[in-house]
Amino acid sequence: MQHIKGFAIVFMAASAVVACHAPEAPVVSARPVAVIAPQALRDAGSAEFYPGTVRARVESALSFRVAGKIIERRVDIGAQVRKGDVLAVLDPIDARLNVQAAESSVAAAEADARLAESEFQRHVDLNQRGFVSASLLDLRRNQMELAQARLKQARSQLAVSRNQAAYTSLVADADGLVTQVQADAGRVVAAGEPVLGFARNGEREVRINVPEGAAVERLRSAPSLRVSLWAQPGKLYEARVREIAGSADASTRTHEARISIVNADDAVKLGMTASVQVGTPAEEPLWRLPLTAVGDSSGTPVVWRVVAAGEQLQAQPLPVKVVQLLNDAVIIAGDIKPDDRLISAGVHLLTPAMPVKPIDRSAPVAL
């Protein structure tokens, strides 16, 4: 009996000790998840940039149409001129003398023509009265026609001399800008020798050099072109390809391309440093992921990123924007870093802060 009482006392004491300790929480094991590194898209939404300078659509080297000595240059580099403005002048003395000589030749030819015509009329009257033969009359007719032809020749030569006298003044044939001075006062120049560089007002373009190969075709078929100016940061101008050289430069192996600025304003100055943007850059980085890596949270697309929480790794949702769906992948944009580890499958079973054990999908499997 006493043995039974002792056993009861021991049992009650053990029960009291057990009752003083709360039940332990169940241990939650980390969920194995497959992770991948996000793949940055360098081609989608990317742009190429080519440096260049702003040039005029029409550029020319102005020169005199006659030879002579320059006695005056009336413009400097950067001068804005109007059509008809005199830019430079040659010594006009020789040209004036040529005009005077041509005028004298015309006067002599006119006198010869008048004499020949009067002789012809006199012989017509004598022939009608039977005093001269028909052959002599034909001779006087030929002399009259020859004198008239020489008069026309002299008058044409006078017109040429007067034109050449006018060519001693170098005149702007359009509104534009003087870009270069290649000859100054005192220099004797030949006909056609460049004197001034001239850029017409109007359309502006950027000249760039494009590497041979695929870059040329990308430029030719680019859906959009834009031009930015170093002096106008943040401002973009629409542009189009006007011309691409058919062959590459022998020394640089690049093709010269001329890109017309469609909506150029007064801020676009000749000689400015410019950059041609081929294609449209994305406003934010784009990433390619498997379709199974994108889930949904309250109607918002999310991806799950593995983050460290103390000694534990957890899954945390990250909102993203779906840019394009492909057959086996999705293009997304969001606050993703290249070194992020994103869960690539089973995202519908995840909850925020869930402990996970990442398994790299790209790691080799041990056999």
pLDDT exceeds 70 at position 11:
no
* Whole-number average pLDDT of the chain: 86
Sign of dihedral through CA atoms 62, 64, 68, 69? negative
Q: What is the mean pLDDT of residues 14-29?
A: 54
Question: Does 4 map to a domain?
Answer: no
Nearest of 230, 227, 253 to residue 240 by alpha carbon: 227
Domain assignment present for residue 11? The answer is no
Strands 354-360 and 31-36: parallel
Question: Is there a single domain that holds both residue 84 and residue 188?
Answer: yes
Domain count, the chain: 4
Judge if 72 and 190 occupy the same domain.
yes
| Residues 288 and 354 occupy one common structural domain | yes
| Residue finishing a domain among 278, 308, 331 | 278
What pLDDT, on the 0 to 100 scale, is given for residue 322?
87
Same domain, 176 and 52: no
- Per-residue model confidence (pLDDT) at position 325: 75
12 domain residue, yes or no: no
Quick one: 291 and 354 in the same domain? yes
Q: Residue range 153-169: average pLDDT? A: 95
pLDDT at 366: 45
Q: Read off the DSSP letter of residue 249.
A: -
252 Cβ neighbours under 8 A, 6+ residues apart: 209
**Percentage of the chain exceeding pLDDT 70:** 87
CATH code, domain carrying 106: 1.10.287
Judgement on whether residues 105 and 68 belong to the same structural domain of the protein: no
pLDDT tens digit sequence for 187-210:
999 999 999 999 999 899 999 999
Q: What is the mean pLDDT of residues 2-13?
A: 50
| Six-digit token string for 262 | 């469609």
Co-location of 195 and 65 in the same domain: yes
d(CA 32, CA 320): 23
- Do residue 141 and residue 182 come from a single domain? no
Type of residue numbered 213: G
Most confident of 29-38, 61-70, 221-230, 277-286: 61-70
* 67 and 193 within one domain: yes
And the tokens for 230? 């170093």
Read off the CATH number of the domain in which 222 is found. 2.40.30.170
Which of 251, 278, 305 is the endpoint of a domain?
Answer: 278
Judge residue 1's burial from the number of C-beta atoms within 10 Å of its C-beta, 0-12 exposed, 13-18 middle, 19 or more buried: exposed
Written as one letter, the residue type at 332 is: I
186 shares its domain with 211: no
Distance CA 225, CA 237 (A): 8
Predicted confidence (pLDDT) at residue 27 exceeds the cutoff of 60: no
Q: In this structure, what CATH number is given to the domain that contains residue 318?
A: 2.40.420.20
The mean-pLDDT minimum among 167-171, 349-353, 358-362 falls in 358-362
Strands 254-261 and 273-278: unpaired
Instruction: Please check whether residue 91 is in contact with residue 170, taking contact to mean a CB–CB distance below 8 angstroms.
Output: no
Structure tokens at 2: 């006493």
Q: Do residues 207 and 273 both lie within one domain?
A: yes
Least confident of 15-29, 225-239, 335-349: 15-29
- Asked if residue 234 is part of any domain, the answer here is yes
Predicted pLDDT of residue 196: 96
User: Is 331's pLDDT higher than 70?
Assistant: yes
Q: Which residues pair with 86 in a beta bridge?
A: 171
In a domain, 355, yes or no: yes
| Domain end point (choices 255, 278, 301) | 278
Domain hosting 251: range is 48-57+203-278
Confirm if 34 and 357 have CB atoms less than 8 A apart: no
Among positive and negative, which fits the CA dihedral 40, 41, 42, 46?
A: negative
Distance, in Å, from the CA atom of 294 to the CA atom of 286, rounded to the nearest integer, reads: 14
- Alpha carbons 46 and 278: distance in angstroms, whole number: 9
Does residue 171 contact residue 86 with C-beta atoms inside 8 Å?
A: yes
pLDDT at 28 over 50: yes
- Inside any domain, residue 20: no
Q: pLDDT (tens digit, 9 = 90+) per residue, 86-96?
A: 999 999 999 99
Residues 240 and 128 in one domain: no
Helix (H, G, I), strand (E, B) or coil at 314: strand
Q: Residue 278: what pLDDT?
A: 86
Give mean pLDDT, residues 233-242.
87
Query: For residue 258, is it within any domain?
Result: yes
- Determine contact, residues 177/55, Cβ cutoff 8 Å: no
311 within a domain of the structure (yes/no): yes
Supply φ then ψ for residue 37, to 5 degrees.
-90, 135
Is residue 75's pLDDT more than 60?
yes
Mean local confidence (pLDDT), 34-55: 77
pLDDT for position 215: 85
Count of positions (residues) in the chain: 367
